[in-house]
Amino acid sequence: DAGVTQSPTHLIKTRGQHVTLRCSPISGHKSVSWYQQVLGQGPQFIFQYYEKEERGRGNFPDRFSARQFPNYSSELNVNALLLGDSALYLCASTEGNEAFFGQGTRLTVV
């Protein structure tokens, strides 16, 4: 079975641009969460979606938004990119309260 898949793996954006990151959960998992990991720190919670509904949101500005589709895949959108948004963005799908993470998307804002 495929694990959690994220795309793209790397991308470079310019300040002020918009970015969309994508995640496909493990087959059968209905919950997807997004985390931001800045270099040298632990991941920080951004969003959780379950059955297409937002269940939780971390302490991130409104520039960050997400959605979940009927097939349980998810998108994370970030508007008006700042240099400080440069990070590894991790997606996790959850089953029985155990989280399984993808390989992440490395976003660099220049």
Whole-angstrom Cα distance, residue 31 to residue 9? 21
How many alpha carbons fall within 13 Å on the CB side of residue 80? 5
Residue choice 24, 33, 68, 93 for contact with another protein (CB under 8 A): 33
Contact status: 74 vs another protein (CB under 8 A): no
Q: How far is the CB of 96 from another protein (least distance, A)?
A: 9
Residue choice 24, 32, 81, 102 for contact with another protein (CB under 8 A): 102
Listing DSSP states for 15-64 in one string gives TT--EEEEEEPPTT--EEEEEEE-TTS--EEEEEEETTEEEEE-S--TTE
Residue with Cβ nearer another protein (66 or 90):
90
**Chain contacts with another protein (rule: CB under 8 A):** 4, 6, 33, 35, 40-45, 48, 50, 55-56, 58, 88, 90, 92, 97-104, 106
